[in-house]
Structure 1
Amino acid sequence: MEAIRIVHPPAEEEKASTGETGLVKLPPPRLKGQLTVEEAIAQRRSQRVYAEEPLKLWELGQLLWAAQGITDPKRGFRAAPSAGATYPLEVYVMVSAGGVEDLNPGVYRYIPEQHSLQPIKAGDFSGELCRAALNQPWVEKAPVKIVICAVFERTTSRYGERGVRYVYMEAGHVGENLYLQAEALGLATVAVGAFHDDEVQKILGAPGNHKPIYIYPVGRKP
């Protein structure tokens, strides 16, 4: 099987650029790397300890592309399968102070169509998110937290009550993509499901119908 995960940075490190729309443009994803899919599967582990080093902007962009990036621009298909291509998931990113090179701390929402970040809130909210996640210390210490939220009605409007199941299935697909991409990048992550939903939603500044499902702290392996 051809390797599709990325381990090498681009020749020149890209810096965050904000266009007229206010979106932070991410470096384009890379489609080849040294680690095969089989190797990433074999090496994948849940890890809760991270080095005190920032992620690079291209690494964050690569993770987000693996989660929900557009892989078929003509038809709009994404990296993870979705029931009826309804795409109910919204991906939020919380960046700690100094957590990502050339990116201010704050809460962002990933915009797949532009492969960009929409700034939501400025500041470091790692401590608040940790408390909302029942004081799991790895949530606070990770330089980046990726939060998967769901807009259930996008799928249930087509599939009825069964759509709820499909949404959770899709969140699992996205989570495994994150795990494998993190492994291929030499990064560490863990799926966190224990948290107070309403508190996480408030911290993110997310709309009321964006329901948190997963938190993925991400950092470098120690």
Structure 2
Amino acid sequence: MEHYLNRLLESRGWHFISYCLLLIILAGCNSGQAPKAYSQTVLSEVALPQPRLSSSISLEEALLKRRSLREYSPRPPELAEVSQLLWAAQGITGKDYPFRTAPSAGATYPLETWLVVGTITGLEPGVYHYKIASHSLEFAKRGDFREALSNASVFQQHVKLAPATIVLTAVYERTTERYGTRGGMYVYMEAGHVGQNICLQAEALGLGTVPVGAVDEQAVAEILGITGSNQVPVYIFPFGHKP
């Protein structure tokens, strides 16, 4: 028996299995303490309607119908629809621990969610930060920044014409401090998870959106008012009602 065990330990197959097990353990571990999951910033706070937990459209139907949409109706989205989109992106779903709607490597939650508003019923035009813990919006800056955001997105006109845009930023250190250089890859994976949630929730609401990755990070950071911070813009989602 010992002879066969030694041969197994020396085999390439065992090394591969050990490597896979190590990755699984690292991805699932946590320190036992909730990580810093959101920033406390800005001026005033806007309470959001509670998200609904059921829908008349199935997940399969949302997957079937989802398309990238670059044209939007002039009808502004309602605050309840914005609330639902933000919850789908990063909302808390756990009771004893603040797990979210999208998976995160080691529950490090490196992403922050912002909202650049032009025309949303119940919201003044400006920049808002999604405060995940209380499911509310922190009002950061007044003004319509859609044209500036369009310019920072390689002049994509649908960003300018959309009623509002969700902006994801990354605090890489939350993940790289645990996983080293691989943490950067995990951050991008998480942005993809969140992005798909946004796209599918938009479809379920009868809204449309399109993921945009071509952004000038420095220019977007200036719009959000986070220049010089450890947040880096990584992904934006202009959205609105279908025409």
TM over 0.5: yes
Identity of aligned residues (%): 55
Q: RMSD over aligned Cα, in angstroms?
A: 0.9
* Structure 2 residue aligned with 1:52: 74
Deviation of residue 134 (structure 1)?
Answer: 1.1
String of CA shifts for 1:162-216, please: whole Å, max 9, x gaps.
Answer: 1000000000000000000000000000001112110011111125211011110
After superposition, what is the alpha-carbon deviation per residue over 1:125-163, rounded to whole angstroms, capped at 9, x for unaligned?
111111111110000000010001000000001111110
1:60 aligned partner, one-letter code: V
Question: Which residue type is aligned with residue 69 of structure 1?
Answer: G
Q: 1:206 to 1:73 in 2, by over 3 A?
A: farther
SS in 2 for 1:188: strand
2:124 counterpart of 1:118: no
Normalising by structure 1, report the TM-score.
Answer: 0.88
Aligned to 2:98: 76
The number of equivalent residue pairs is 200
For 1:156, what is the secondary structure of its paired residue? helix
For 1:218 and 1:108, how far apart are their aligned partners in 2?
A: 15
Three-state SS of the structure 2 residue aligned to 1:23 is: strand
Give structure 1 stretches of 5+ with no counterpart: 1-20
**Once the two structures are superposed, what CA deviation does each residue of 1:49-87 show, in whole Å capped at 9, x if it has no partner?**
001110100000000000000011321100000000000
Aligned to 1:13: none
Give the Cα separation in 1 of the matches to 2:150 and 2:95. Answer: 36
Quote the residue 1:35 is aligned against: 57
TM-score (norm 2): 0.81
State which structure, 1 or 2, has the greater radius of gyration over its C-alpha atoms: 2
Match of 2:180 in 1: 160
Q: 2:232 is matched with which residue? A: 211
- 192, 200, 215: which one pairs with 1:195? 215
Instruction: State the 1:23 CA deviation.
Output: 1.3
Q: Deviations 1:5-24 (Å, cap 9, x if unpaired)?
A: xxxxxxxxxxxxxxxx8311
- Considering fraction of residues, name the structure with more helix: 2
